[in-house]
A = this chain, B = another copy of it.
Amino acid sequence: MFIRNAWYVAAWADELDERPLGRTILGEPVVLFRDANGQPAALQDFCKHRGAPLSAGRVTGAGLECGYHGLVYAGDGRCVRIPGQTHIPERAGTRSYPLVEKDACLWIWMGDAAAADPAEILDFPYHSDRKWPHKHTMYPVAGNATLLIDNLMDLTHLGYVHATTIGGNPSAHVDAKTDVKTTEHGVKFTRWLLDIPAAPTIRKAVPELGETIDRWQEFEFIAPACIVQWSGSVDANTGAYDKGKRDGGFQARLFHAITPETEASCHYFWSGANGYRIDDPQATEDLFSELCRAFDQDMAMIAAQQQRIATFGEDGLVNIVADASRVHMRRVLERMAAAERTPPREAATV
């Protein structure tokens, strides 16, 4: 079951050109389009005349035109044109979803529209910050969304899955000093790996780093679907950990938004921002390439894990010490899911 009353990333804003874009979100086929004024909108991807997907149509001045028999829909879901007749019945309208453009993303609300408050969308100003040039993409993932969030909330996998890229030495990750905190909207953890050799990706990005480094990873999970990350590495024993001197060296900010497609698949919107050679576009490209290599490794593992869990379920699995953040994150999701299943108190007393 999906948590519906929440903002999810439906697309990168720049994915949407003059053509409509079809995408399944929380199990529902959705079509995204920009109207003649550039205003983005999201409708159920289903013409109420004969069931054709509206994503196979085109945008006209009046709205989104079905490619089969030409009915036209406005961004709010109203049918505004039926070829051959002037009367337009109200039930020819299709469902629309609240959609907000913010920080390079299109955010959709799949639940009760009355409860949708754009002020609750998280802030990620780095997507338009010249000090953090970034590159982004969307990965289709053959696994349940929660498996991908698990992946990001237990970084001990870096030494195993990503030894050749962002990981490096497994024991450095296992021995990291880790601090986990509850936040208003989720969980935040900080890890420090002190006096270790730099992982291959970091060494490539900033070759002038010393033989050993101090590395931090700050991950904040904002339920139910986003993680924002700040990672950095500086020369070892230069005061980053104990004196807060975190300038220079390698610096990256990552944005992760995980939107369920079906129970067994999700859309992974992520970006990587270069904070170490901000005037060098190639540095941003190179960081992105390295992250692609690493995340491809994750995608393969998650697809394999999904297949096993589809067979055996998760009930017999065993939590370990390294799972602290992950277990916390799961509890937050369970509380949100339970809250959606329970009618509000006022309703219950009526």
Contacts and interface: CB of A to CB of B under 8 A. Distances in A.
Chain copies in complex: 3
A322 B87 CA distance: 13
Contacts of A307: 53
Interface string A301-312: 100110111011
Given A156-B69, A174-B84, A46 B308 contact: yes
Interface string A44-60: 01101111110010000
Contacts of A46: 308, 311-312
Interface in A175-191: 175
Contacts of A318: 48-49, 89, 91-92
Interface stretch (A123-131, A157-165, A213-221, A278-286): A157-165
A30 to B, nearest CB: 12
A145 to B, nearest CB: 15
A314 interface: yes
A160 B67 contact: yes
B157 A56 contact: no
A45 to B, nearest CB: 7
A301 B56 contact: yes
A326 B190 CA distance: 64
B156 A84 contact: yes
A157 B49 CA distance: 12
Contacts of A305: 50-53, 68
Contacts of A70: 156, 159-160, 170, 174
Nearest to A22: B304
A38 interface: no
Interface in A190-231: none
A318 B311 CA distance: 37
Contacts of A84: 156, 174-175, 320-322
B52 A308 contact: yes
A336 to B, nearest CB: 22
Top-4 shortest CB links A-B: A83-B174, A85-B321, A84-B174, A51-B309
Interface of A: 29, 45-46, 48-53, 56, 65-71, 82-85, 89, 91-92, 150, 154, 156-157, 159-161, 170-171, 174-175, 300-301, 304-305, 307-309, 311-312, 314, 316-318, 320-322
Given A69-B320, A70-B160, 11 more contacts: A45-B308, A51-B308, A51-B317, A66-B160, A67-B301, A68-B305, A69-B322, A82-B321, A83-B156, A84-B174, A85-B322
25 contacts: A45-B308, A46-B308, A48-B316, A49-B318, A49-B320, A53-B304, A53-B305, A53-B307, A56-B301, A56-B304, A66-B160, A68-B160, A69-B156, A69-B160, A69-B320, A69-B322, A70-B156, A70-B159, A70-B160, A82-B321, A83-B171, A84-B174, A84-B321, A85-B322, A91-B318
